[in-house]
Every structure is written in C-alpha cells, then in structure tokens.
Amino acid sequence: MRSNSPGHCGNCLLTGPRELRKRKMKLKRFLLRYYPPGIILEYEKGGQLRTKSIDLLDLTPKTNPNEVLAEIRRSEVLITETRADQVKQLILRLQEKQGQQNQHRFCFSKELKAHILPLTNVAFDKSGSRFITGSYDRTCRVWDTASRSELHALEGHRNVVYAIAFNNPYGNKIATGSFDKTCKLWCAETGKCFHTFRGHIAEIVCLAFNPQSTLVATGSMDATAKLWDVETGEELATLTGHSAEVLSVCFNTVGNQLVTGSFDHTVVIWDVASRRRVHTLIGHRGEISNVQFNWDCSLIVTGSMDRSCRLWEADSGRCVATLTGHSEEVLDVCFNLSGHLVATASADGTARVFSAATHQCLVTLVGHDGEISKICFSPQGSRLLTASSDMTARLWDVQSGVCLQVLRGHTDEIFSCAFNYEGDTIVTGSKDNTCRIWY
C-alpha cells in the first residue's frame, strides 16, 4: 500500500480522485499531431471511445524531453509509469520533425483553366489530396491534387460562389456560400448536394465549419450570421447585433465560441451553445477585414481598414495590443499554428510579422508591387505565403523576412492562396480564371 493512501475500509482500499479517474478511463492508443505539435489520446470511458489533446505549443528541438514528459504526467492521469517511455518517444519524434530544415523550393506544376470567370477562393482538404475552387461563374470545382484532374463540378448556385470550405479534418463535406443568398452543403466524394441553407436576405460572403463538423456558420451582407445544422439542414440560430455587413466568421478550436467581424467596425464573440453574445470588441475605427482565434482559444486577432491589427483576450474581450505600422488598410491577418506569431497583409504592399507575446514587429516583408490581399503561414510556421494584385505570390522566411521565392505566371490579380497540411504544395487562385499548383 502506498504511504499516501487515505486509509482502509475493511478489505477495501480507498483510492484518491486520480486513481478513480484512471479506473473509469482506459487508454487505447496515441495519435501524433505534427502541426501544431501535440499528442492525441484515444481512450475508452463509459463504453465510448473518446479523444483528448495534449498541446505542446511551446515545444522546440531544444526543449528537454524529460521536462516535457514530467509536465504531461503531472497533468494527465492516463499517462502512467508504464506509458512514460512511449510518450517520451513521441515527444522526440515531434522534435525530430521540427528539426527538419524546410529547404523545399516550389516548382510550378500545372495551370488549371478552372473556370470561365475569375476565381474567388481556394482551399485544401486536411490530407491535401484534394482542393476546391470557387468562382464568379457560379460553380465550385473539386480537384485531385496529384493528378490535377477535376473530380466534380458543384453546380446549382445562381450567383457568384464566394466562400468555400472543407469540413476539415474530416474532408467529406464541402460548404459553398454565394451571392445568391444561399449556402449549399455537398458530399465531397460524390458531388451530391445534401442541403441548401436558405434564410439570409443578402449575399453570403464568409462561412466556417465548427471543428466537430456538426455546424456551419455563415456571414452575410444582411448584417447577420447564422448557424446551420449539418445533419438536418435546418437553421439553428440567427446571430443579430451587427449594424453592417458580416465579413468574417471563425470558430475556436474547441467549437464552443464563434467570432464575427463586421463593416460596423466591431467584432462579436458568441457562445455557440446558448447563441448569446459574450463580448463586443470595440476599438477599431474602420471596417473589419478578418478575424481569427489562436490555437488555444485564448486570443483573437482582428485586421481592419483603419490600418491596424488588434489582439484581444477571448475570455474578457479586453484589447491587449494594437499592432501598427502599415500605411494603408490591413486586408488579412492570421496566427501561426502555435499562436506565437501574427502576420498582417496590407494594401500598402507589405506584410508584417508580430510577436503575440511582446506585440513587437519582428520583420517587415517588402517586395510586392501591389496590395497584398491574402497571407498564410506554412504548417511548420517557418514560412509565409502572400498573394498580391501584382500578379505574383511570394514565399518568405519568417525569421529573416527574406523573400525566398516569387511565384510568377498568373496574368491578373491573385485573390487566394493556400498551403496543404504538409506544407509542400501550394495552390494559387487568380482573377485570370485559373489556379496554379506548385510542388
């Protein structure tokens, strides 16, 4: 019997709460997540298979793995002594992956004459084996990344298909939002339309799946956002309160909160379960261009036409920093996957990288000859991809700010760009009616 045992009751050993929780849960297997680094525990509780995530957002190749293991064991009852060595090996594998220098140079693979009118957006599924393109020609098209062949044409909208998304990480459904005021839900495998979500009275310009793939959120020029049930196709809620167009929507990684950004200069945090407004984020003096949660759901970043970017505490709604330096509107913002860095893209033709902790500008990316409308980090976080009206996309080193590559070939503005999950494939979408694949 252990010396810290609470005591006896006949032949029955009274166990502490940690031991009781262990008895109720049985660890089945580990899954590794490279981006951002983490270990997923698959366990059985009450006869049901469940998962939980151990996020290792601060892990670097130089981190002491024994210290990481000790910290995990202090906070996670499922990691017993017999599992310790296995977890340490997983930590070492994550560090090895991080230590691999990303020297990959992208080469142009193929131009796809994807649509008969300009593209609006591009997006990969989680595996990167497929991607989708939306267009002014009223269609969304599904493509096989490896063969560069068209798999499906999603037809049925009566106006521009503007917002598109896979239900990652599952990748078996696609949502399309249109200027025809509807959103459609499709089967990614067959191209069949499951549901048409009707209810908005103006153009749908943004959408997002929740992480569980049970809900779709849509934002509209009618100044509302709506929540839709993926299974039934029914409208679950209309989120009202903005006084102008809703241009950006984003769920946090848990799925319990949604954030909306509007042309009314404000951002609203909503509780998904109750459909109630939690906080209104007031401070910007211009229209909101984009909003995003960081991975651990603690911060929200907002970009605005007032030439600034702001960081907000998700719990309190308090503005913790205003990131300045751009001379024109901030058109896009994003966190890297670990949440340590923020990138901004501006109409002034530059991009900037800020520390989310110190709020300092670390590097300024200079080289484009036109406004930058889209910016995204590589999954590894070591590179940035920008898309510009100067008809090029550019690849940048995050630490030095050096331009590593200029992706040329489009003959008009590039509206959208995306990395696949491994960070070794890029798709760019342009006003020239084409998309380009880069390996």
What's residue 344's pLDDT?
99
Count of the separate structural domains present in the chain? 2
What's residue 100's pLDDT?
82
What's residue 239's pLDDT?
98
On whether residue 202 sits in a domain, the answer given is yes
Point out the domain boundary residue: 69, 99, 129.
99
Burial class (CB in 10 A: 0-12, 13-18, 19+), 204: buried
Phi, psi dihedral angles at 45 (to 5 degrees): -145, 125
What's residue 1's pLDDT?
29
Burial class (CB in 10 A: 0-12, 13-18, 19+), 228: buried
What's residue 103's pLDDT?
78
Q: Which residues of 258-269 are buried (b: 16+ CB within 10 A; e: fewer)?
A: bbbbbbbbbbbb
* Same domain for 164 and 88: no
Point out the domain boundary residue: 51, 70, 99.
99
Distance of CA 388 to CAs 1, 196, 257, 349, 417, Å? 68, 33, 32, 8, 10
What's residue 122's pLDDT?
98
* Same domain for 315 and 256: yes
Nearest alpha-carbon partner for 77 in 54, 49, 56: 54
What's residue 221's pLDDT?
98
Q: Any idea which residue has 């497929």 for tokens?
A: 130
Point out the domain boundary residue: 67, 99, 131.
99
On whether residue 35 sits in a domain, the answer given is yes
Nearest alpha-carbon partner for 34 in 104, 102, 84: 102
What's residue 157's pLDDT?
98
* Same domain for 95 and 152: no
Cα distance between residue 290 and residue 100, in whole Å: 32
* Same domain for 38 and 181: no
What's residue 12's pLDDT?
37
Count the Cβ atoms, other than its own, within 10 Å of residue 80.
12
Which H or E run includes 325?
none
Residue pLDDT tens, the chain, 439 long: 223 333 333 333 344 555 545 557 999 999 999 999 999 999 999 999 999 999 999 999 999 999 999 999 999 999 999 999 999 999 999 999 988 867 789 999 999 999 999 999 999 999 999 999 999 999 999 999 999 999 999 999 999 999 999 999 999 999 999 999 999 999 999 999 999 999 999 999 999 999 999 999 999 999 999 999 999 999 999 999 999 999 999 999 999 999 999 999 999 999 999 999 999 999 999 999 999 999 999 999 999 999 999 999 999 999 999 999 999 999 999 999 999 999 999 999 999 999 999 999 999 999 999 999 999 999 999 999 999 999 999 999 999 999 999 999 999 999 999 999 999 999 999 999 999 999 9
Domain extent, residue 79, equals 8-99
Cα distance between residue 151 and residue 141, in whole Å: 8
Q: Any idea which residue has 């989120």 for tokens?
A: 239
Which H or E run includes 330?
strand 330-335
